[in-house]
Structure 1
Amino acid sequence: MEIRKRGCGAGKGAYGAAKIKKTAGLSREAFLPVSRADMDVRGWDELDVLIITGDAYVDHPSFGHAIIARWLEAHGFRIGIISQPDWRGTADFLRMGRPRLCAMLSAGNLDSMLNRYTAGGKKRREDSYAPGGEAGRRPDRATVVYSNRVRELWGDIPLVIGGVEASLRRLAHYDYWSDGVRRSMLTDSRADLLVYGMGELASLEIARRLSDGESVSSMRDIPGTCWKTHDANAAKDAVPLPSFGEVSSDKTKFAEAFRLSYGENDALRGKRLIQDQGAWLVVQNRPARPLSTGEMDAVYALPYARAWHPDYDAAGGVPALKEVKFSITTHRGCFGECGFCAISSHQGRIIQRRSDESIIKEAELLTRLPDFKGYIHDVGGPTANFTTPQCGDSLRRGACKGRSCLYPRPCGKLRASHEGYIALLRRLRALPRVKKVFIRSGLRYDYILADKKSAFLEELCRWHISGQLKIAPEHVSASVLRYMRKPPREVTEEFLKKYAEINKKLGLKQFLVPYFISAHPGSTLKDAVELAEFIRDSGLHPEQVQDFTPTPGSLSTCIYHTGLDPMTMEKVYVPRGAEERRMQRALLQYWMPENKNYVRKALIKAGRRDLIGRGPKALVD
């Protein structure tokens, strides 16, 4: 893909990325400006676009602010970054002055509420996206707070919000932490546009049109954006959703709105949506088209410093970089559609793949970094082994509406193949200085079993894990798996058997580390006991158990709030009280001394006293 310089590539103060001299010590000039002094070094009198983020500035393609900033820079725009500003005043926001075109802001790589609070509502002690892991460096609902500060400073400036927080809160949504329905973040933030999904195409289109003199208020046709209006006739083609007033007072209407919006979340066949928020109507344009392979390659070839900003050295850096610095993203999109996950609502179900050559070049770059020890930590995406489109139909007409690729069983048209992935991994293993290539991203083992042609599981066990493999059955009860949209118990048991057989064949002693979710919608105490018995019999003792946390944009969150499956409108049992949630969690780690009282109480309440005692099947004495 050719990247053209435009917008600010000429005239006084113009600056090209190629003029930065890279140094072995990664000086400030290897990064985008974060201060007026950095601008002065470049001879800039103003920025074109100011990017504000709730994360520390890490110049790496696993951080959304770095991708958008480098993408705009590569197309000729002067970009500056303000990270984790002090929101209690405006001084930090003024650090580099008013930008010429617009301010673009994001809460960071995570929703700010999820980043700050546990499922139990307690404040987290650490923030891996902050210098030194220090918690409390961003406000609750950071997108709204930052936007209000920008409006205080420059009331008329074009203001664009994006990132995961804005993306998944783009329409009226349930907010777990306030236990209520909130309006679209576009209206709460007073922004002009909201970019949802992966924002390269939309953000570049916005910057270009602003540079050409177009008013932000006229940008009503950009895919992957939401805008607001007072005139319903401005979007006559849009599918109307139940209004904020309806969904906030009627849970059936909330479920209906979710079903309608979920069904149109496709770039190729999706329709525009419109929802009355009260003071405004919010219009959601169809999602941005998937990036081509060439565009994906261009995004990941940008001149990232692949380090945290030097300002954080004294604090010991930014912990989140450790997990991703030597990892490689191969693709975007996920057709797994787990009920509790909102990736399909953010990245979409269509797989967007980088070329093997692009991935190999990045791996070679990693091997030249001074702290590379010979290990590539991960090669994957949202789901590591979804490296090819699910079927030819998805590329022509989009993902199927009302049908899943894997649930309740693999679709007959599914192209379950790991051949390309295996070939790529072999090339990576063969690179000089590479000792080991790990796969740490999630793997769908039902997809592995559906592939009848390649020997991916053997390849995985032989070369790409080190003693243990993380898997995510999440549950085994049929009634819970239904709402999780995960494979049935028999599939999990088949995978466990094959995994054991292959490791025995290879002469390896490698273990499985399972992830389970407690108190998911649909889970009764009886279901939790069934899972505890499975854990007992399989020997898969989880080191960690995740409490179900309702986050905006997911099917499971809709069920949690409404008690309804929005796809069928059937009633669903939802464990809500703190006491029951604690019992369900305790059952999944029944052997821990601190859980015994809760386990005993849960078994009595579930009518399973037979599991109390000292027998071989007992969970607690």
Structure 2
Amino acid sequence: MKTYAPRTTFLPTTLEDLQQRSWDQIDIAFISADAYVDHPSFALALLARLLEKEGYRVGIIAQPDWNSTKDFLKLGKPRLCCLISGGNIDSMVSHYTANVKPRSKDEYSPGGKSGLRPDRPTLVYTAKARQAYGKDTPIIIGGLEASLRRLSHYDYWSDKVRKPIILDAKADLLAYGMGERQILEIVHRLDRGEPVSQLTDIKGTVYVAKPNTFEIQAEPTVTLPSYEEVSERDKQSNTPTEAGKKAYAKAFGLQMQQENPIAGKRVIQSCMQRIVVQNPPALPLEEAFFDALHELPFTLDAHPDYEKAGGVPALQEVQFSITSNRGCFGSCSFCAITSHQGRMIQTRSKESLVKEAKRMSEHPAFKGYIHDLGGPTANFQGLACDRQQTYGPCPTKECLYPLPCANLKDYHGRYLDVLEAIESLPGIKKVFIRSGIRYDYLLEVCDEKTRQRFMNHLVKHNISGQLKVAPEHVSDKVLDAMGKPRAALFDEFTELYQETTEKAGKKQYLIPYFIAAHPGSTLEDAITLALYLHKLHFIPDQVQEFYPTPGTVSTCMYYTGLDPRPGKRFASVYVPKGRERHLQRALLQYNKKENRPLVLEALEKTQRKDLSRILLTRR
């Protein structure tokens, strides 16, 4: 039996670690709101290992005490810069439910303990780092929290439009998106002696300029309505004006159209006598770069300092998962992946994925099961079409919505080849697919022979009793607002799944996810969904209530009541708010005793009390 020999130690987190490496100073202080987990699913580890490979001395400061500068200075002052990330997920989502109630656990903290990061840590850490390191140390912010707040954005928790985060944080530079290319160029150029104020031409970054020094003619530029315009409120009622909402929707729509790393233009937005400049997105990673990135010497473990607390819960699900792709060409309005990772799919080679699986199988905690092989969407395994190589994603046309584009390519055969290669390795008992598949892509783009081969393999080898899919709703009007496929496709997939499962002699279930109270959904639509669930004899254990988070089309709809997508002409969208959100959620779990009063209230409001004998009669 092979013994697991880590190829590396953790990056330094203490002064003693520096002394053991004979370092007199770190080059980069990397501050994160998450605990330190040395696994490629955690952005902190991914970027820190990349910088280490380039020869830089990186020190990790995870979840520092923000009440003083002590933790920020525990590794000394960095030679080049300070990088700050709010963590793998949005801190406000981590702290609060969709009803803005505090959560009791934080999956990205030791032992799942809450309270180890502040609200909006990017702002808090930047202020404290500036105090600790002084004005001469460049501070670069990034990660999901900063990326999705890079321009003026609606903030659900304060119910107002906030300024671009780089202004609130007073950072020198913001890296948006996945970050590898930007961070390497920033650090290399700082190391060559360039001042951070001159790093204004790096793709995938945002910086602040003064109006009297900014040259708009320098390159193709899209000008958004200003922060003052998009945040306009009535002086008497202190509520958003209709003009302000329209300006916000316009700004969001324009920004969406430039999320193109090949042909996207620079975007600018005036705010508080400053100009916030967003350069076009960073170029996608080539296969070789993506391979090399995930072959860096990760330990695949949480830092040993967390062992007494029980480790870091977020690692458990992904420790033995493999990332095969990133990016998404799906059109889900409520998802921010396209804004952060982009619509151009990036993939790794089969050889690299097999190599990672072999390495993973040698870990002492590995039991033979790879928990996932995929990415944002598991069966998106290549560029949507050949045109994207030259022009990038279409700015005014989606790949799957409302119908799949005629140029959309199929990669299910490629995905199967990778699955089979990894499954054949010694020590691998099973490879699960948990990152989700788009069944509309499978049904409408994949040829029949490959589709059946894929379904047979999926059912026999890649499911642990349940397959989770996300139809989200059944009302055509709501599905249109969501950017999701028509309900009939879910029924078609359900039938195909059941047939394939029965032929395989297995007892496995299809678990659909649904969203309550999404923009576009009325009480009548929620009742339609409840009746559909009743017909299926299925009540979801968990219901996702729509959560307006920065960077999504749905959040723009929630704030403005307008559809910002190209071709929608800012059409009005019904937005359920307040108590109606609770009523819609209750309808999706109509059988629960505690939901009975809410269901009755919803039926009375819609004059459908006749349905109470169907929905409220216990079976």
Whichever residue aligns with residue 234 of structure 1, its letter is E
2:225 to 236, 242, 246: 242
Alignment of 1:381-396 (within 5 A): 381-396=375-390
In 2, Cα distance between equivalents of 1:125 and 1:618 = 33
Q: Match of 2:542, as an amino acid?
A: Q
- Indicate if the aligned counterparts of 1:272 and 1:286 stay in contact, CA closer than 8 A: yes
Residue aligning to 1:33: 12
Give, in angstroms, the shift of residue 26 of structure 1: 6.5
Question: Residues 483-522 of structure 1: matches in 2 within 5 Å?
Answer: 483-522=481-520
Q: Which amino acid aligns with 2:254?
A: L
Residues 1:95 and 2:96 are matched in the alignment = no
Alpha-carbon distance in structure 2 between the residues aligned to 1:85 and 1:558: 33
Q: How does 1:329-478 map to 2 (within 5 A)?
A: 329-450=323-444, 451-452=446-447, 453-454=449-450, 455-478=453-476
- Structure 1, 289-298 or 454-463: larger mean CA deviation: 454-463
Q: Secondary structure at the match of 2:128?
A: helix
Q: Which residue is 1:284 aligned to? A: 278
SS of aligned partner of 2:518: coil
Q: Tell me how far apart the structure 2 counterparts of residues 118 and 62 of structure 1 sit (CA, whole Å).
A: 23
User: Identity over aligned residues, as a percent?
Assistant: 52
Cross-structure match for 1:570: 571
Post-superposition offset of 1:593: 1.1
Q: Please state whether the residue corresponding to 1:580 is helix, strand or coil.
A: helix
After superposition, the C-alpha distances for 1:301-339 in whole angstroms (9 at most, x for unaligned) are 001111000110110100000000000000111000210
Task: State the Cα distance separating 1:33 from its structure 2 match.
Answer: 0.3
* Amino acid across the alignment from 2:92: M
**What is the CA-CA distance between 1:620 and the residue it aligns to?**
4.6
Q: Distance in 1 between matches of 2:201 and 2:591?
A: 57
Residues 387-414 of structure 1: CA deviation (Å, up to 9, x unaligned)? 1211111122101111011111111111
When normalised by structure 1's length, the TM-score is 0.94
User: For 1:80 and 1:348, how far apart are their aligned partners in 2?
Assistant: 29
One-letter code aligned to 2:371: H
1:54-133 correspondence runs (5 A): 54-133=33-112
CA contact (8 A) 2:534 2:615 kept: no
Distance change in 2, residues 1:234/1:192 (3 Å): farther
- CA contact 2:583–2:598 (8 Å) conserved in 1: yes
Q: Distance in 2 between matches of 1:318 and 1:277?
A: 39
Residue of 309, 318, 342 corresponding to 1:315: 309
SS in 2 for 1:530: helix
Residues 588-608 of structure 1 show CA distances to partners (whole Å, capped at 9, x for unaligned) of 011111111111111111221
Cα deviation code 1:79-134 (max 9, x no counterpart): 00000001111111011011000000101001111111111111100000000000
Q: Report the residue type matching 1:248 in the other structure.
A: S
Once residues 609 and 331 of structure 2 are traced to their aligned partners in structure 1, the CA distance between those partners, rounded to angstroms, is 37
Structure 1 stretch 219-228 or stretch 561-570: which is displaced more? Answer: 561-570
Q: Aligned to 1:392, what secondary structure does the other structure show?
A: coil
Give CA deviations for 1:187-222 in whole Å, capped at 9, x if unaligned. Answer: 111111000001010001000000000000000100
Q: CA deviation at 1:467?
A: 1.0
In the TM superposition, what whole-angstrom CA distance separates every residue of 1:161-206 from its partner, at most 9, and x where no partner exists? 0000000000000000000000011111111100000101000100
Aligned partner of 2:184 in structure 1 is 204
Letter in 1 for 2:162: R
CA distance in structure 2 between the partners assigned to 1:536 and 1:581 by the alignment = 20
Which 5+ residue runs of structure 2 have no aligned equivalent? 233-243
Contact 1:611 1:620 in 2 (8 A): no
Amino acid at match of 1:575: P
Cα deviations across residues 17-45 of structure 1 (Å, max 9, x unaligned)? Answer: xxxxxx96869x71000011100100001
**Counterpart contact for 1:514–1:540, Cα < 8 Å:** no
Q: Is the 8 A contact 1:596 1:620 kept in 2?
A: no
2:554 to 538, 553, 556: 556
Which residue number in structure 2 is paired with residue 526 of structure 1?
524
Matches within 5 A, 1:151-170: 151-153=130-132, 154-170=134-150
Q: Any conservation in 1 of the 2:4–2:363 contact (CA below 8 Å)?
A: no
Question: Are 1:215 and 2:215 matched, yes or no?
Answer: no
Counterpart code for 2:466: Q
Of 526, 535, 538, the residue aligned with 2:536 is 538
- 2 CA distance for matches of 1:24 and 1:468? 32
- What secondary structure is seen at the aligned counterpart in 1 of 2:387? helix
Q: Corresponding residue for 2:236?
A: none
TM-score, reference length from structure 2: 0.94
- Once the 2 structures are TM-superposed, how far is the Cα of residue 540 of structure 1 from its aligned partner? 3.1
**2:603 counterpart residue number:** 603
* 1:274 matched to 2:268: yes
The answer to whether the 8 A contact 1:600-1:620 is kept is no
Matches within 5 A, 1:575-590: 575-577=576-578, 579-590=579-590
One-letter amino acid matched to 2:576 = P
Indicate which of 165, 170, 183 corresponds to 1:185: 165
Q: CA deviation at 1:49?
A: 0.6
**Greater Cα offset, 342-351 or 453-462:** 453-462
| Matched letter for residue 22 of structure 2 | G
Question: Mean alpha-carbon deviation: is it higher for 188-197 or for 394-403?
Answer: 394-403
2:295 match = 301
Give distance in 2, aligned partners of 1:620 and 1:318: 44
Write the distance in 2 (CA, Å) between the matches of 1:257 and 1:216: 28
| Aligned AA (1:281) | I
Check conservation: 1:101, 1:158, Cα contact below 8 A. Answer: yes
Change (3 A) 1:157 1:370: same
Amino acid at match of 1:586: A
Paired with 2:253 and 2:106, the residues of 1 have a C-alpha distance of: 34
Which whole-Å deviations, capped at 9, do the CAs of 1:547-597 have from their partners, x for residues lacking one?
1000000000000000001132111100011x2111100100111111111
List alignment gaps of at least 5 residues for structure 1.
1-22
**Cα distance change, pair 24–421 in 1 and its aligned pair in 2 (3 A):** closer
- Is contact 1:71-1:302 (8 Å) kept? yes
User: More displaced, 556-565 or 235-244?
Assistant: 235-244
Distance 1:509 1:78 in 2: 53
How far, CA to CA, are the matches of 1:562 and 1:80 in structure 2?
43
- Are the equivalent residues in 2 in contact too, given 1:235–1:283 (CA < 8 A)? no
For residue 497 of structure 2, give the secondary structure of its aligned residue in structure 1: helix
Give the count of matched residue pairs. Answer: 594
Whichever residue aligns with residue 337 of structure 2, its letter is I
